[in-house]
Amino acid sequence: DTEAEMYRPNFHFTPKVGWMNDPNGMFYYNGYYHLYYQHYPDGNKWGPMHWGHAISTDMVAWKEQPIALYPDEKGYIFSGSAVVDLENTSGFGIGGKVPIIAMFTYHNTDIKKAKGIDVESQAIAYSLDEGLTWTKYSGNPVIENPGIRNFRDPKVSWNKEQKKWIMVLAANDKVMFYGSKDLKSWELLSDFGGDWDRELGTHGGVWECPDLFPIPVEGSEETKWVLLVSINPGGPNGGSATQYFIGDFDGTKFIMDTEFEAVLNKGQNHWLDFGKDNYAGVSFSNVTSKDGGKFYMGWMSNWEYANKVPTETWRSAMTVAREIKMFKDDKSYRLASHPVDEIDAYKVGKYKKENIQVDGETALIKVEKVDLSRAAINFTISELKKDSFTFKLSNKVGDELSFGYDGTNNTYFLDRSKSGKTGFSTTFSNKRSTAERISSSKQLTGTLLLDKTSIELFYDDGSTVMTEIFFPNAPFETLSVASVSQDFILDNLEVNQLNRH
Ligand code: FRU
């Protein structure tokens, strides 16, 4: 089937057939990473939600598995999480087996049609074969709807200090924290949000898919807590996006860090990714990187047009798996994200160039050297000038994708208005996406991952990130860069093709 394969990514996960949205229940156990996802296997638009499933040994190459959870009389299976219950706190682990517990939202369409409020409730399921097959708990729901219309997306984690499970879920324009000793009976602890009098875009839409986790602050002994909250609409470039808050969690309450709050109050950004296509991402449980970073994946689309993108057999891909870290600059704590190191094992055919004098438009690389629909590109500019530069991907039918830096406004940008098929939605490319540069370093670094239908840009060690999708009429074949007024020097360029082994 040519259509399915023309746009099917080389190294991003897509379901073989049918619709996909949020990543769900990601965990690591016994050599395997697991990814579940919002899935409608019988159609290419959002529909009755199942949990699809895929496994991987490296978070890069995924193998689709049979569907993990089917909708039932209690409702569709909405987003949620999974944990490895190492100490069998739930009691589901008979015969010495370690149970995996999934917590998800039931979304009841009968109640919705009857205009009831109590549409959404929380439920659990367990697996005794390391995540392959699941049994729904007979006592579901474990948390009834308390009279809140949007009440969903539970993310569970083990709290070491308190020796209990903590769960965070989204409730209209806030999140609510719950605690449990056994994953079955849950107690409300506190909430966060809702009462904003700030201009943070937080009122633009409903809060969805929260996550709460601690991470060490790079280069210090300190650990801080991160609260991720997706919001739709209200993203920095329109539609869906994921914001973050940094603070402390005392086992009951999330308390925002005062410096971080000051940065927020100044209207400075707090977005994990500024591109239009990274939504509903959360972290993997039961694993951290060697420096304590969290592994993360997001859904590479946007509710503005997800149901209309020009693929038929399947719809939507996940972002590449990323490692989230925390650093502190002169103003506050910040998050940075990078592609996971495991992607390096896919690099072949390294192509390097140094000291490239850019004067007008300068060709950098052609498809004969590196297939630009499966490439990792790193570059460094040692002396950033108050000028602008534009990278451009192009093909022989005249499509163009451009991205770069605007020195006048100190922003990165991404423009897909001429990137091929764009007419399926009025908001897909009506304006270019921008992201204020966070770093104030003279040196600018970039890592970009190119697939057939996506670009992921990690600038300044991942402190500013942009992810977007595109649908060219033919594969992109050349990459060039242009300076806007003055010449500049691209000090280092390294291009690697990413091949499956
Ligand atoms: C986010 C979301 C979740 C919900 C799921 C339904 O994209 O709206 O809040 O659980 O998708 O598919």
Tell me how far apart the alpha carbons of residues 90 and 4 are, in angstroms, rounded to a whole number.
Answer: 42
Tell me how far apart the alpha carbons of residues 285 and 83 are, in angstroms, rounded to a whole number.
Answer: 6
Q: What is the largest CA-CA distance in the chain?
A: 71
Between the CA of residue 38 and those of 20, 35, 41, 120, 492, what are the distances in Å? Answer: 5, 10, 10, 16, 40
Alpha helices (H) in 66-207, listed in sequence order: 109-113
Q: Does 203 have pLDDT greater than 50? A: no
The pLDDT tens digits for 298-329 are 999 999 999 999 999 999 999 999 999 999 99
Comparing CA positions, the residue from 35, 47, 42 lying closest to residue 16 is 42
Q: Would you give the end-to-end CA distance of the chain in angstroms?
A: 24
Determine if ligand 1 sits within 6 Å of the CB of residue 37: no
Q: Does 202 have pLDDT greater than 60? A: no
Query: pLDDT value at position 387?
Result: 77
Contact 446, 403 (CB under 8 A): no
Query: What pLDDT band is residue 55 in, cutting at 50, 70 and 90?
Result: very high
Encoded tokens for 111: 């109640």
Of 10-19, 367-376, 479-488, which gets the smallest average pLDDT?
479-488
Query: What pLDDT band is residue 268 in, cutting at 50, 70 and 90?
Result: confident
Determine if ligand 1 sits within 6 Å of the CB of residue 105: yes
Q: Could you tell which of 19, 20, 22 is best to mutate to test the pocket of ligand 1, judged by most ligand atoms within 8 Å of the CB?
A: 22
Q: Does 200 have pLDDT greater than 50? A: no
What phi and psi, each to the nearest 5 degrees, are found at residue 3? -60, -45
Report whether the peptide linkage leading into residue 216 is cis, meaning its omega lies within 30 degrees of zero: no
Considering only the top CATH level, what class is 2-339? mainly beta
Supply the pTM of this predicted model.
0.97
Determine if ligand 1 sits within 6 Å of the CB of residue 453: no
Tell me how far apart the alpha carbons of residues 131 and 81 are, in angstroms, rounded to a whole number.
Answer: 12
- Looking up tokens 């991402």 gives 281
Residue range 23-35: mean pLDDT, rounded: 98
- Range(s) of the chain covered by CATH 2.115.10.20: 2-339
The pLDDT tens digits for 473-491 are 999 999 999 998 778 899 9
Specify the residue with its C-alpha closest to ligand 1, atom 8.
208
Catalytic residue at 22?
A: yes
ipTM: 0.99
- Range(s) of the chain covered by CATH 2.60.120.560: 347-498
Coil, strand or helix at 146? coil
Q: Residue 87 burial by CB count (10 A; 0-12/13-18/19+): exposed, middle or buried?
A: exposed
> Which residue of the set 22, 85, 173, 371 is catalytic?
22
Determine if ligand 1 sits within 6 Å of the CB of residue 280: yes
Determine if ligand 1 sits within 6 Å of the CB of residue 119: no
Comparing CA positions, the residue from 186, 205, 214 lying closest to residue 283 is 214
Encoded tokens for 419: 């990137």
Considering only the top CATH level, what class is 347-498? mainly beta
Encoded tokens for 29: 């156990």
Q: Does 352 have pLDDT greater than 50? A: yes
What share of residues in the chain are helix, strand, coil (percent, to 5)? 5, 50, 45
Q: Give every CB contact of residue 301 below 8 A, 6+ residues apart in sequence.
A: 21, 277, 279, 309, 315, 316, 317, 469
Q: Give every CB contact of residue 174 below 8 A, 6+ residues apart in sequence.
A: 191, 192, 193, 194, 195, 207
Percent of the chain residues past pLDDT 70, beyond the cut? 97
- Looking up tokens 């994990």 gives 272
Query: What pLDDT band is residue 198 in, cutting at 50, 70 and 90?
Result: very low
Residue range 149-164: mean pLDDT, rounded: 97
